Chain A
Amino acid sequence: MGQTLFDKIWDAHVVSSNEGFPDILYIDTHFIHEVTSPQAFDGLRLRGLPVFRPQQTVATADHNVPTWDQHLPIKEELSRYQVDMLTKNCAEFGIELYGLGHPFQGIVHVIGPELGITRPGSTYVCGDSHTSTHGAFGAIAFGIGTSQVEQVMATQCLLQSRPKRMKIEVNGKLQKGVGAKDIILYIIAQISAAGGTGYAVEYAGDTIRSLSMEGRMTICNMSIEMGARCGLIAPDETTINYVKGREFAPKGEEWDKAVAYWQTLYSDEDADFDSVLSFKAEDIEPMITYGTNPGMGIGVTQHVPETASFEQKEQGSYKKALNYMGLHDDQQLLGKPIDYVFIGSCTNSRIEDLREVAQFVKGKHKADNVIVWVVPGSKQVQEQAIREGLDKIFDAAGFPLREPGCSACLGMNEDKIPAGKYCVSTSNRNFEGRQGPNSRTFLASPLTAAASAITGVVTDIREFLKEEELV
């Protein structure tokens, strides 16, 4: 019996496996940030322990940082305190910090890949559920709680039971205007926000293979939104070409050795998965969510489901969600006026996302009723965008390019969507209050968000693309 990609990587990282106990899994790199680390550092102090492998720990400040005037002190006192605490802790425990003002600062799941820290065949954890992003390189990467952050700091290992394995295949040709974000929103809508719980999910099929690394990261990023432990995609030429030459990527002989190993990382033909699902790319429309979890998504031209279409016991939760969103049964979102557009987050803030949006909005201008925020995922993405002149295109369109951070994805820093307002967002969660108390989120792709910003209403990007072809 052959092995899955997941098992190959897992087995190569098992320090000790004992009957009745979870495996002790070795972690190659531990990413940390200001929100989920302070209590872990305190725990180490209480135990009188150092960080076991500080050189395998990478820190950045992202959740609490402002995305405007980053050169000034952080205005919110508690946010500033938490960021300062990270700086002190990193200095005390000997950890490299890419903090505010550092050229490598950014969202933790954007900087790992762009610095060449994220590589095939390795294990990554972080006190953040979107750590699944790094699986796009053919790695095992998942989010952990703060007790586990302390565990990894103390031992560079994690006690972990092996999850089940699921394969999700997507084959066929995507429609114009449909991208990676639509694929993952479609999959989650099909299998629900809990459909992947307990599984490590490998994405495969020719549609997945045809995606750029940025697109693959968008897909793996949202694995957690179907409850999956992690998501991963076998490395190939696209992966290797992306990693090559990056700041911390292996060089010279080390590179050749690494590539030779990476080429062995795929699921064998006869590998055994606990579950296999298959989808057709042609069936996927530009997607949008209408509810309060990421599984509540529809094609942009479809109607919100009827309450009666759910089982009795689910109807209460469904009605609560529609009520929160200010929507009703059978409503079509297409044409619904919106207030904000947020382009950013660890799901969609990479240079490719910004290029795609800039190309589309060039020569257009946002609608008067919409406020648009474009937030790059990292300092490097911001600078690249400026080098390419994207900032000027954005400015002319009324889409100011801000500074890097998690921004309006999570309602923690200064960037919040006001109560009752609708935001078409390229982020990953539409939970109640996620973008600010009583804010209302429609999750969508960068293109759908950009098109909706131009028209001021929820828009089918395909209509725009059709017109542009005619011109």
Chain B
Amino acid sequence: MELPFFFLFGGAMVLFTLLTMFVKNPVHSAIFMILSFASTAGLFVLLDAYLMAAIEVLVYAGAIMVLFLFVIMLINLRSDELEGMKVNPLMVLAAGTFFALLHRAISDLGAAVDPVRANTFEGEPKVVAKYLFTEMVIPFEAVSLLLLAAILGTVVLARRTRDA
């Protein structure tokens, strides 16, 4: 029952990722990237992570893509500067080696998981939020500090200095 959906979303994810990486125009790339993330959100739903699916769509589609688009427009590349992926055999070899290593890692999963049967946990917002605000409250606050630092850093970097 889930299998078709897995292949649907998974295939879409791979396809859109490939397109993101290969098209010349950055605006197109950004849109394909969002589609790739939407496919991921679909996979999250298959994995019963409803809250994370929602956040994925909200944050990436709503925030990050807009950010990317803004910057792309700000930079406004001329059409002769656009280029696709320049395939370099050495890099491909490196990526292939890395994937081989990942394959080795996946084939040896350890005892903490049951690779065949999924558990019955469902990522309802209430359950996840309760865990987040009790067990994980300190990392949560740490992340808020990190975001604050990022805001400050962004403001400082974006400010036009007089000589610029």
A is bound by B: no
Interface residues of A (CB under 8 A from B): none
Interface residues of B (CB under 8 A from A): none
